[in-house]
Structure 1
Amino acid sequence: MSKKNFIQVFEYQKLKYDENQDFKKHHFDAMVLFNEKNQNKYYTVVNKGVLFNSYVGVIQIGGLTIEILPKADNSNNPDKGTWQKVLLNMLKVCKHIQVDNVSETNLNKKYNSILEVYFEMYLNELESLIKKGLIKKYRRIQSNQNALKGKLVFSQNIQKNLIHKERFYCEHQLYDKDHLMHQILYRGLLILKDLVNNNLKDKLNRILFEFQDYQQVMINKNHFEKLVNDRKTQPYLRGIDIAKMIILNYSPNLNSGNNNMLTLLFDMNKLWEEYIYRILQKHKPNGYQVSFQNSDKFWEHKTIRPDIVITNDQNENFIIDTKWKIINANNPSDDDLKQMFTYNLHWEANKSMLLYPRINQIDKEGTFHYNQLEKKCKVGFVNILDNGKIIQTKISSQIVFNKLISSNE
């Protein structure tokens, strides 16, 4: 992928075709159509361009790749390479990128876009499967036979063999490699033919050679629901997961020309929420349990659901609600505070925290006043970077010891 066909932007940034020579009017038209088909949730269409929102990730239109990066600093010229690594790290922690497949060394490797990480993972998975030997499975087929084989399909036999009485139209089982799992993997490879850069083309072509005798099937989400996993297919799960991502996020022929689109987009609010939860779960202190998105009845059919609940051995609850936005410590929104107050009451928690990414803010703790019940809510901030380096191992201690629990004891 050449730099000429690669654009990096940050969330809440505009991209216009009259301001960026690589972003053309036909790219814009394809993006408008794609967004309309998805309830306009990924970005806002503006005059001659788009305004990105909380969704980060990659959009690939034909030969153009647009990478949308998260940003939690107040720099006028943030380092795109650093924030790409932040996004890759969050995806790895949240298991959107398999941990075993992407080492710390690979995460430090310079990728043009995060799509390249997935493409390389996919090819590596398939290369590994080929070396182990592609498995055979039983599949049902219907065909004309010279002898009765399996079950006779009466309606088709009458239709097709009215003249040729010596033939039998049968349904029978075949044990071979041309089954649904390989057809899914093959479809993923065919999509990649027009998407991978020159560094991966040789590997892709070698792997395609191994799949050339399989049927080309237009795979959709229903095919994935038909898959049955067992001991034999266990090694296929990662490859199938990536194939599912590639196939279901690929939109061919959205517009005239070659504007096929592949999207890999994540809501940064949900990604931040899951990222904090997984770090807390991994580094929780003894005597504490961490649970995610606890849901309880609130009003009629409506439910209430804080992001994270931490419970100690004395059954004391501590509530965390994550927010991916930059605020002043003295100015949380009224809606956020009211939401936390409700959590405090409903989960009988004396302490809760709104957790934001830190720039240079200082934590601030306040008290809710209601019928002499003094329940506390802290506006807390956590560092993502330290001198440009990701510091996920310190996040748990920042939250649990210094912010939420220790200050309550």
Structure 2
Amino acid sequence: MTDLVYDYAIVGGGCAGFQLLYQLAQQPDWSNQRVLLLADDTSLQRTWCFWSRDREPLLHHLIEKSWPSITFRSAGFTRTEPIAPYQYHYLSGEAFFGYFYEQFLPAQPTITRLSVTVDNISRTGDAFVLTGAGETWRARRVFSSRLPAVPRSARFRLWQHFGGWFVRTDRPIFDAQTATLMDFTLPQQGAIQFGYVLPFSANRALVEVTVFSPAVYTQEQYTGLLADYIRENWPGVAFEIEATEQGQIPMTDFPFSRYGPAGEILIGTAAGMVKATTGYAFRRIGLDSVQLARLPVTASDPADSLVSWPVTSGRFRFYDRLLLGIAAEQPAVGAAIFAHLFRYGSFPDILRFLDEESDLLTEAKLISRLPYIPFLTQLARQWLR
């Protein structure tokens, strides 16, 4: 252990760690801060999509494509609608990590980056002690994206998992101004699953299959679903697969914490920033990073006395728990629930609701049009447990 005490240590160099670093660098006293970034070299190939208003400080300079309209499809109807004041955005892992590793970090002499896995975080006096790979470091304030173990006591443990192809077609078939957010014409097969299409141009798009289920699919299952989906929707169109992506996001009602065992501030997925019923997290992580970056460098000050914790809580946690229960125990009705939501609700209102920024009147209007029996059934099941 050296005598050097860093002002900040960030454990994990993924989405949350780098968004926080970016916001720290916007603070007026940044040049005087010593920052330690401890991140192992895990896979950096990841796509983030999110909707936001232009005024939000969410790394908009890295966005590669935005859509002003979205489409929802089901067996009974198709609806396309502008989503102003929002836009739906696409940001690739290549652009995100390329910016931070090739531009941001080389221009920040106050950041020390080490490629290492942190084994333990403890607290001694007025500093945290971090250990890994036989080394030890100290810092006044620690932010960590290390994932806690989700205990078996969590009521629901599902995955939102997906497989996608970046395709180039032999003719113009896509509307480059409209993203298909959900396409429930895809067979359900005992799970909630839907198509997802992001057109980058008239003949190039990300075509994806997304599934909510307890177990993830094999690559062969995604391949079969994608081939069938493209054949069904664009028959006779020849296409080339330029790249692929595959991933999984936890969906759980586990009660996440703002703090780790030693009092370190948790960020990203570890802090419950992933919306349990949608898998979206980029925007919430970004807004959380803005406020965390303004915390004073004092390990003794509890963060919750100075900033909010934008985790799902209150009535939105109640809504999420019901929908998670339906996804886990009544997946056959999932498509009908989403179809009612998008058939009768304004798309901007739906996005505001999913962002947990809606008011009770808007929520009442949206919920009143949903099939009520699955929710009553799920409410009774959860109440009796």
TM-score, with length taken from structure 2: 0.24
Q: Which has the higher contact order (CA 8 A, sep 6+)?
A: 2
Q: Which has the higher helix share?
A: 1
TM-score, with length taken from structure 1: 0.23
Give the number of the structure whose alpha-carbon radius of gyration is greater. 1
